[in-house]
Each structure stands twice: as structure tokens, then as C-alpha cells.
């Protein structure tokens, strides 16, 4: 019920017209993983985007493009094990290990330290991003439509199943975020029927560092952030410490025509 992967749509993906670099890397236990990366010639930051529980990286292509073009970020997203082209079967420990491997690849590719990468997570990916930030630090943490813990979400929808006792997949972000003292930007729709905004507020209240919570009026779980949020995100990125590259910046390809595809979070 938690993980809802789909195969990568090879028949719908035109590599010759895509601005993204397809990347292959390996998780700590040897599981082969797949992702998408796009650099920016005048990057304001390097970001790792952890996506939600349905679909694969192809269904996040538009979100990746907005982060790259609208916010001038060199950005990578990746598929957890079992999603898209990534091998294996998803589990809590597995997807967290996959995120660490993705961040390591991104740091090496861009020439920045892992702790200088901006971590971004939406929905399920918020739990993944919080784990990375809490354990290793981050230049900044950006969360959207995420939760305090998976059992909290399950208790909202299925309270009679006593999920706080029975669930093995927990992603207890509320507990972990207490160890992250860096800047946090968190957003949530006030009409989210999948993850109630109250659960997002629990997570936000537990964060000890500088933070800002943005309410997206009328937005449900999969609705996009509005322009007001985009402006706040720009301000957040501008407020972060200057990014120092350990090596020269990566070459940015000539951008080709890119058409928007349906986005799943």
C-alpha cells in the first residue's frame, strides 16, 4: 500500500529530445539504480529531489525542469529500488540507502560536498530527504506535502488497524528532524486529503532550526505549488550560504524542446 512503482516508459521517452542525462549508479548493497540529472550553466545550487510513492522519474520530468529552469538549480532525481529502471524491491531501509547513493553520485558529478547539496522531498520523498538531512546535514531542506510519520498517515485513514504498533515501514520524520538544525522550507496544501496538513504541522513544529511553513490555499495532495510558493522558494535559495565548488562546474548541454508531461508526486 505504501510503495506504488511503475516501469520506466521506454516507448514514450524520446532520448534524442530530452534535456536530461540518464544516469546509472549502485546502492550500498549492490542494487543497480537509475535517475535523471540536468545541470544549469549558472547554477544557484545543486539539488537532490526525492519523489513520492507512485510512478517513476519520468513522471517527475516536468518538476525537474521547473527546478532547473525556473529556479536555476542543477538537479537530480532518482528511482528507488523497484521503481522505473531501478532493480530490487522497495523497503524503508532500501530506499534510504538508495538516496544516500544518489547523493554521493550527485556530489561526485557536480564537484560539491554531499553536505552542500540542497535536499528536496515530496510526499514519501519528504521522509527520505529528512533522513538524509538529519543524519548527514544539508545546505537546506525543502519539503512538500509530506508527513510526520507513515503510521500517523495510516492512523488518519485506517485508525482501527493500530498502525503505530503493526506497521514495519515507519519513516518517522518527526523524530529524525529534531537532529537537523539547518534551514527548512516546508509547504502543504490546506485541502490535502491524502496527508492532512495537521501532520505536516507536527513535523514542522519539531524542526529546531530556522524554518518557514507555506500553506498552498485550496491545494490537494498532487496539486502543483502556485507562483507565490515559487517566489518563496527563490527567496529561500537566495538565503542559503554561497555554494562552493570543489572542482569546475559541469558542462550544461544545449537545451532541446521539452514538452510537459503529466506529473505524479
Catalytic residues: 123, 192, 221
What dihedral angle (degrees, nearest 10) is formed by the CA atoms of 192, 193, 197, 200?
-100
As beta bridge partners, residue 209 has: none
44-83 exposure pattern, b = at least 16 Cβ within 10 A, e = fewer:
bbbbbbbbbbbbbbbbbbebbbbbbeebbbbbbbbbbbbb
Question: What is the DSSP secondary-structure string of 46-113?
Answer: EEEEE--SEE-GGGGHHHHHHHHHTS-EEEEEEEPTTSTT--S---HHHHHHHHHHHHHHHHHHHT--
∠ Cα 133 60 168 (to 5°): 50
* C-alpha cell at position 224: 502543483
- Residue of 70, 103, 62, 115 lying closest to 240 (CA atoms): 115
Amino acid at each position: 500500500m505504501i510503495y506504488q512503482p511503475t516501469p520506466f516508459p521506454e516507448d514514450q521517452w524520446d532520448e534524442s529530445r530530452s534535456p536530461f542525462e540518464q544516469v546509472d549508479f549502485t546502492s550500498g548493497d549492490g542494487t543497480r539504480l537509475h535517475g535523471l540529472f540536468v545541470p544549469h550553466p549558472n547554477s544557484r545550487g545543486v539539488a537532490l529531489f526525492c519523489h513520492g510513492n507512485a510512478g517513476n522519474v519520468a513522471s517527475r520530468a516536468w518538476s525537474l525542469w521547473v527546478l532547473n529552469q525556473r529556479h536555476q538549480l542543477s538537479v537530480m532525481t532518482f528511482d528507488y529500488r523497484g521503481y522505473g529502471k531501478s532493480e530490487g524491491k522497495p523497503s524503508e531501509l532500501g530506499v534510504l540507502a538508495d538516496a544516500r547513493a544518489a547523493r554521493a553520485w550527485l556530489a561526485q558529478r557536480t564537484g560539491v560536498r554531499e553536505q552542500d547539496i540542497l535536499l528536496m522531498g515530496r510526499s514519501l520523498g519528504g521522509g527520505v530527504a529528512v533522513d538524509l538531512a538529519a543524519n548527514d546535514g544539508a545546505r537546506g531542506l525543502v519539503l512538500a506535502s509530506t508527513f510526520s510519520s507513515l503510521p500517523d498517515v495510516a492512523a488518519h485513514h485506517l485508525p482501527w488497524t493500530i498502525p503505530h504498533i503493526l506497521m514495519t515501514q515507519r519513516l518517522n520524520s518527526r523524530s529524525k528532524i529534531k537532529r537537523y538544525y539547518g534551514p527548512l522550507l516546508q509547504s502543504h496544501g490546506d485541502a490535502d486529503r491524502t496527508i492532512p496538513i495537521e501532520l505536516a504541522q507536527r513535523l514542522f513544529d519539531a524542526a529546531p532550526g530556522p524554518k518557514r511553513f507555506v500553506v498552498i490555499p485550496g491545494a490537494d495532495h498532487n496539486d502543483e505549488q502556485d507562483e507565490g510558493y515559487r517566489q518563496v522558494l527563490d527567496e529561500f535559495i537566495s538565503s542559503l550560504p554561497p555554494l562552493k565548488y570543489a572542482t569546475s562546474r559541469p558542462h550544461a548541454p544545449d537545451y532541446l524542446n521539452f514538452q510537459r508531461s503529466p506529473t505524479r508526486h
